[in-house]
Amino acid sequence: MAAVRDWAGRSIALRLAASALFWSFLILLIAGLILSALYRDTTERAFDTRLLVHATDLASDLVSQGNPDQRELGTLGDPRFDLPLSGWYWQVGQPDARPRDIRSSRSLFGAQLPALVEPGDDSRFGEVRKGYRQGPEERMLRLVERDIDLGEDGRYVVRVAGPADEIESEVRRFTFSLTITFGLLGIALGLTTLLQIRFGLVPLTKLRTAVSSIRRGEAERIPGEYPRDIAPLAQELNLLLDTNREILERARTQVGNLAHALKTPLSVIVNEVGSAPDEVAARVREQARLMRDQVNYHLDRARAAALAGTLGTITEVEPVVAGLARTFQKIYHDRGLILETAVPPGTRFRGERQDLEEMIGNLIDNACKWARSQVEVSVETMSADERVWICVLIDDDGPGLPDEARAEMLKRGQRLDETKPGSGLGLSIVGDLAALYRGTLTLQRSPLGGLKAKLELPGDGG
């Protein structure tokens, strides 16, 4: 099961290549074994035919001459039968003959050839017998044996043997040639298989490129034509994109309508309390301001939730940070704040520009409110879980926060100092917007002595 799970995550190209190479290797191996066995059988048959020709010549000499005990048998025309222990031997004698009555080739050098049947076994009389036996000097021989019945002169057995290593040598040469041939064939099959897989997966590669273009914001739909197997997938993805776009437009419209529907009555209430007693008017205005803040907060969350699900929205980070830095330097120019930025070119956020502006803008604004003289904004990129993330770091040299107070500051409506302007929603909005993009906001101690806001958001690797 573990092996199956491991292969489940492999690429289609690797799975197809591994499957094709495995079955090609298995088929070639089986074919090689079959061909090698057939060639061995063919070689043995050819070798047996040569031995049988020699045995037939000896039988002919034995039948055509006079007294069997005084017949002179020929040399079979092969000098190897005269070389001592050459591996080529012949032997003629009765089944129960004494060694001195057995005639044999000079190559046997006084030795005897083994029998292929047990002495006294007549069940195979008259047939040509073939097999392997161990001969002189423990050398393996291929042996052919046949019976000759001379009537009143008795029965004789003719045996002819040749070295079995000649058969093995022929088979080894064939096996080596076959291995080289099948190896080259296997390499050719492997290369053609890889080319076929590469060609066959071109539509999937094209589809992946199109989806990546949509993710990077370079296209809105999947263009082009695809094979019948993949065309339905491309069509369903385009329908999904259209549906997502329609849902987004409806959400934006509903958010806008709700904003107008609530803000207008609130404005009327605030205007009408002008004639009311001061204590009542102040209380109504305070509650109306809180209601407006709460409405804006929840509307922002609803808008961000809709935008965070948008496909293919990419925002360049450097222009956003540069624009915000210029804005806040103008706002706080009377305090002489030094606002430094460091953003690597090409850093991109996977989301809406206005959301990025709101998150970074709230953090810079908060840092400028509390900083004594310096605010630093830097952006880094990192990879985690096979995804690219951007990390926005905003440091100030203000009074900072105790460890136990940092978590409380991320809660909605929490304020460190009531004398500072604001509703206490800024950090909460940033945290909620970051969470919608599966990011995080954390507060730490800054090397400058004040507060460090660390905002992690999904980035785009290009």
Give the pLDDT confidence of 56-65 residue by residue, as tens digits. Answer: 888 888 777 6
For residue 360, the tally of other CB atoms under 10 A from its CB is: 25
Cα separation, 172 vs 166, in Å, equals 10
The answer to whether residue 312 scores a pLDDT higher than 70 is no
Q: What are the structure tokens assigned to 216, written together? A: 């990077």
Residue 163: predicted pLDDT: 94
3-state secondary structure of 268: helix
pLDDT digits (tens, 9 = 90+) for 339-396: 999 999 989 888 888 888 888 998 999 889 889 989 999 999 888 766 789 999 999 9
* pLDDT at residue 333, rounded to an integer: 86
pLDDT at 422: 44
Which tens digits make up the pLDDT trace of 8-50?
556 788 888 888 888 989 999 999 999 999 999 999 999 999 9
Query: Mean pLDDT throughout 250-272?
Result: 68
Each residue's pLDDT tens digit, 153-188: 778 889 999 999 999 999 999 999 999 999 999 999
Q: Is residue 55 within 8 Å of residue 144, measured between CB atoms?
A: yes
Look up tokens 């990192």; give the residue: 382
Q: Which pLDDT does position 420 carry in this prediction? A: 46
Which of 390, 212, 385 has its CA nearest to residue 311?
A: 212
Token code pair at residue 355 = 């959301």
The whole-number pLDDT of residue 224 equals 82
How many helices, marked H, and strands, marked E, lie in the chain?
10, 12
CA distance 319 to 220: 23
Which of 276-280, 289-293, 378-382, 426-430 comes out lowest in average pLDDT? Answer: 276-280
- In angstroms, rounded to a whole number, what is the distance separating the alpha carbons of residues 9 and 15? 10
Q: Which residues pair with 378 in a beta bridge?
A: 342, 393
Residue 48 CA: distances (Å) to CA of 45, 112, 172? 5, 20, 18
Amino acid at 406: R
Average pLDDT over residues 298-314: 60
- For the chain, which residues make up each domain, given as ranges? 68-166, 231-296, 314-458
For the residues 240-252, what does the mean pLDDT come to?
Answer: 76
3-state secondary structure at position 419: coil
Q: Is the pLDDT of residue 265 over 80?
A: no
- Decide: helix, strand or coil at residue 48: helix
Both tokens of 269, joined, read: 């209430």
Does 3.30.450 match the CATH number of domain 68-166?
Answer: yes
Cα–Cα distance, 453 to 441 (Å, whole number): 7
Rounded Cα distance, 461 and 458, in Å = 10
Closest CA to 94 of 129, 120, 127: 120
- SS3 for 234? helix
Measure CA 215 to chain center: 23
Residue 341: count of CB within 10 angstroms of its CB: 17
Q: State the SS3 of 296-335.
A: HHHHHHHHHHHHHCCCCCCEEHHHHHHHHHHHHHHHCHHH
Burial bucket for residue 440 (CB in 10 Å: 0-12, 13-18, 19+) = middle
pLDDT band, residue 415 (cuts 50/70/90):
very low
Q: What is the mean pLDDT of the chain?
A: 80
- Give the per-residue pLDDT at 174: 95
Which stretches does DSSP call E strand in 135-260? Answer: 140-149, 155-163
Highest mean pLDDT among 96-100, 188-192, 423-427: 188-192
CATH classification for the domain delimited by 314-458, as one of 3.30.565.10, 3.40.50.2300, 2.120.10.30, 3.30.499.10: 3.30.565.10
In this predicted structure, the answer to whether residue 451 has a pLDDT above a threshold of 80 is: yes
- Here the contacts of 67-73 (C-beta below 8 Å, separation 24 or greater) are 67/153, 68/150, 68/153, 68/154, 68/156, 69/101, 73/103
Checking if the pLDDT of 327 tops 50, the result is yes
> Which long-range contacts link 120-125 to residues 24+ away (Cβ below 8 Å)?
120/95
Residues 6+ apart with CB under 8 A from 364: 324, 325, 328, 339, 375, 377, 394
DSSP type of residue 137? G
The whole-number pLDDT of residue 35 equals 95
Percent of the chain with pLDDT over 70: 77
Confidence class for position 320, pLDDT limits 50, 70, 90: very high
Reported in sequence order, the residue ranges of 7-149 that DSSP labels E, i.e. its strands, are 89-93, 103-104, 129-134, 140-149
What's the pLDDT at 20? 86
> How many C-beta neighbours within 10 Å does residue 300 have?
19
For the record, the structure tokens of 330 come out as 């103008």
Q: What is the mean pLDDT of residues 265-278?
A: 66
Which secondary structure element, helix H or strand E, spans residue 16, and what is its range?
helix 12-64
Same fold for the domain at 68-166 and the one at 314-458?
A: no
